[in-house]
């Protein structure tokens, strides 16, 4: 990109090239600012743990960030289940469970539940989203545990097991960990995009 622009500057007049640069640069800048979303091929790790974090910067105060965040979490997040552990003008902390149906056909249903912690920290003009502490459990095991009135010993996987070590296996499924990782990252990107919309609306 830079080499081509340098050659063009030698061949054309200064004014015409300045206009050309102004046309080229805004899309590049806009793309860089919107570069929040994560990829299944690059999972963020902090101190050996999977931790997704992104900071939103908007002209909003703490209370407005909290109001818009809680409205989204209460009304549009639509998890399988969720609970607010705390919420005030400094932060909101939730424990959320989502249901992922990865694949469904006549022979088997590939589905599981993922539970994770979600935290939003509010400052003047800034809100930081952090998602961490993942626990995965196959659909059958999770629903058996839910139906029981006592704690059962069911196989479960951490975020590191699933997304880093890829230690989750499933009969007749090739690389199921990657499929679950992709579903997880898609969900996190959805949360990020929807929070962004909540913060930008008038």
Domains present along the chain, CATH in parentheses = 1-31 (no CATH), 43-200 (3.30.530.80)
CA–CA separation, 180 and 178 (whole Å):
5
Q: Is the pLDDT of residue 10 over 50?
A: no
Average pLDDT, the chain: 84
Instruction: Count H helices and E strands in the chain, helices first.
Output: 6, 7
The band of 36, judged by pLDDT with boundaries at 50, 70 and 90, is: low
Q: What is the per-residue pLDDT for 5?
A: 32
Reply yes or no on whether the pLDDT at 56 is more than 60. yes
Please, are residues 88 and 70 in contact by the beta-carbon 8 Å criterion? Answer: no
For residue 35, the model assigns a pLDDT of 47
- How large is the average pLDDT for residues 30-57? 81
User: How would residue 21 be classed by pLDDT, with cut points 50, 70 and 90?
Assistant: very low
What is the per-residue pLDDT across 86-113, written as a single tens digit (0 to 9) for each? 999 999 999 999 999 998 776 778 999 9
Phi first, then psi: give them for residue 95, nearest 5 degrees: -120, 120
What size, in residues, is the chain?
A: 202
Alpha-carbon distance of 11 to 94, in angstroms, equals 59
Q: Looking at residue 19, what is its pLDDT?
A: 43
Percentage, residues of the chain above pLDDT 90: 72
Q: From residue 142, how far is each of 18, 133, 202 by CA, in Å?
A: 61, 17, 41
Mean pLDDT of 10-32: 39
The predicted model gives 140-147 an average pLDDT of 95
pLDDT given at position 103: 87
Greatest CA span in the chain, whole angstroms? 79
Contact between residue 163 and residue 43 where contact means Cβ atoms under 8 Å apart: yes
């Amino acid at each position: 990109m830079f080499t081509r622009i340098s050659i063009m500057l030698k061949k054309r007049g200064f004014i015409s090239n300045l206009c050309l640069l102004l046309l080229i640069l805004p899309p590049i800048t806009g793309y860089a600012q919107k570069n929040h979303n994560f990829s299944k091929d690059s999972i963020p790790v902090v101190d050996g743990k999977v931790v997704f974090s992104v900071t939103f910067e908007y002209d909003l105060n703490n209370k407005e960030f909290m109001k818009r965040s809680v409205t989204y979490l209460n009304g549009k997040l639509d998890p399988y289940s969720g609970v607010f552990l705390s919420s005030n003008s400094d932060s909101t902390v939730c424990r959320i469970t989502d249901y992922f149906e990865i694949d469904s056909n006549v022979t088997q249903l590939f589905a599981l539940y993922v539970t994770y912690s979600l935290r939003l920290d509010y400052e003047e003009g800034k809100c930081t989203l952090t998602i961490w502490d993942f626990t995965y459990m196959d659909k059958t095991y999770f629903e058996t545990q839910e139906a029981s009135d006592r704690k059962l010993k069911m196989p479960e996987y951490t975020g590191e097991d699933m997304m880093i070590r890829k230690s989750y296996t499933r009969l007749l499924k090739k690389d199921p960990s990657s499929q679950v990782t992709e579903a997880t990252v898609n969900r996190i990107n959805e949360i990020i995009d929807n929070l962004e919309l909540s913060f930008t609306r008038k």
